[in-house]
Amino acid sequence: MERRQFLKLAALGALGVTALSACTTGDADLDQALQDETLPELEWEIATSWPTILDTIFGGAERVAERVSAMTGGKFMITAQPAGEVVPPLEILNNVETNSIEMGHTASYYYVGLDPATAFGTALPFGLTSRQQNAWLYEAGGLELLQEFYAERFNAIQFPAGNTGVQMGGWFNKEIKSKADFQGLIMRIPGLGGQAIAKLGATVQLLPGGEIFQALQTGAIDATEWVGPYDDKTMGFHTVTKFYYHPGWWEPGPSLEIQIPLPKWNQLPDVYQEVIKTACFEANIGMMASYDAKNPKALDEIVEEANITILPFPDDVMEAAAEASAEIMDEKSAESEAFASIRGHWESFRTDIQRWHSLAETSYMSYIATTYES
C-alpha cells in the first residue's frame, strides 16, 4: 500500500513531529534521542480484536507498528497480529492486566464486565462525537483520568489509537416500527449500549467481529451493529439482512485503544515511550480520516447491490433508549467509584462542548445537508 510504504520510508515525517508536540510534553529532541546507539533492539507483538479483512480498523494497529518501527530505525520492531492469533479477541485487556502480552489494540467497552469505567475509553450511549471525544481526551483531561484508572485497576497504560466516527445503528432482519419490536430480538451489541438495548427487551450477545456474519446467516442472532458502510459491506451484512438503521446512538464517536502492561511500559526507554505516543496519535487521526473517505462510496455500493431499506430509528425508540441509557449511567455510578468519578468530568465536558457544537456545527451541517442534498 503506497501510504504504508511512505510511512516506512519517512522516519520522522511532518505528521509525526506535529503529533509529538500535540500529545507529549517532553522537551528532548526526539530525532537526536533516537540516534543513541545504546538503545535496545526490541521485538513486540500487538494482540488485536480484529480480523485482517477489516483493513481500516486492523490497519490502526498496523499503523502503530509501522510507525514505531520506522521512527526507531528498526530498533523497536512491532508486529500487529489478527484476532485470536495471540489471545482471544475479547480478552485483550485481561491479558494486559496479567502482563501476559506486550500490547493490545482493542475497544475498551468490551471490558465493561471488568469495570464499567472502561466504557469511557471507547464510547457511551448518547455520548461524544469523534471530535468531542478527542477534545475530551487530549485537551480537557480525559486521558489523564483514564490513565490513572487503568494504572490503578489494571496495572496498565492506554492511548487512543483509532476512531471510527459516528456509527450506523445496525442491521436487522425485520423492520423496527416501535420500541416494542425489540422484545425478544437477539442482537449482537457491546458495551453499555448493549445494556440499554436489553432494557428495551432484547437479548444481547457479545461476539467478536469474525463470528458475526455466520450468526446472522444462520439466524442465531436477529440483528447486529458493527461500524459503518465500509466495514459492514466488507463483512457482508447487506447480503443476509433487510434493514439498515441509523443513528448508532450508542457509539457516536468510539475510540480504539493501545493497551500496554505497566511493567513492560516502564522498562522502555523514554524515547521509545514518546515514539509509541506519537504513533498512537497518528493512528487515531488517520483512522477517522480513512473511514470518512471510504464510507460514502461503500454506502452507495450497498444501495446499488442489495435490496436494503435504510431507515432512522423511530422517535419512541430513541426516547426509550435515552431513558434506558440514563438509568444505566446511574446504575454504573453506584457500582463503580471510578465510573462515578470520571462520569462527572465527562458529563460536564459534554454539556459545554454540545452547547458550542449545537450553535456552530449543527446549524451549518443542517444547512449544507438540505442545500446540497442530491
Going residue by residue through the chain (374 aa), what tens digit of pLDDT does each one get? 333 333 333 333 333 434 444 444 444 577 777 887 789 999 999 999 999 999 999 999 999 999 999 999 999 999 999 999 999 999 999 999 999 999 999 999 999 999 999 999 999 999 999 999 999 999 999 999 999 999 999 999 999 999 999 999 999 999 999 999 999 999 999 999 999 999 999 999 999 999 999 999 999 999 999 999 999 999 999 999 999 999 999 999 999 999 999 999 999 999 999 999 999 999 999 999 999 999 999 999 999 999 999 999 999 999 999 999 999 999 999 999 999 999 999 999 999 999 999 999 999 999 998 888 65
Would 83 be classed as within a structural domain? yes
Would 310 be classed as within a structural domain? no
Cell of 222: 436477529
Kindly report the CATH number assigned to the domain that includes residue 65.
3.40.190.170
126 closest CA partner among 303, 338, 324, 367: 324
What's this model's pTM, rounded to 2 decimal places? 0.90
Would 44 be classed as within a structural domain? yes
Distance between CA 314 and CA 319 in Å, rounded?
9
SS3 306: coil
Counts for the chain of helices (H) and strands (E), in that order = 15, 11
DSSP, residue by residue, 41-96: PEEEEEEES--TT-TTHHHHHHHHHHHHHHHTTTSEEEEEE-TTSSS-TT-HHHHH
Would 8 be classed as within a structural domain? yes
Domain limits for position 282: 2-166+253-292
* Cβ 251 vs Cβ 193: under 8 Å: yes
Q: What's the domain count of the chain? A: 1
The separation between CA 233 and the C-alpha centre of its own chain, rounded to angstroms, equals 18
Would 308 be classed as within a structural domain? no
Would 43 be classed as within a structural domain? yes
* Cα angle, residue 111 at apex, residues 79 and 192 outer, rounded to 5°: 130
Would 228 be classed as within a structural domain? no
Would 79 be classed as within a structural domain? yes
What count of other Cβ atoms lies within 10 Å of the Cβ of residue 358?
10
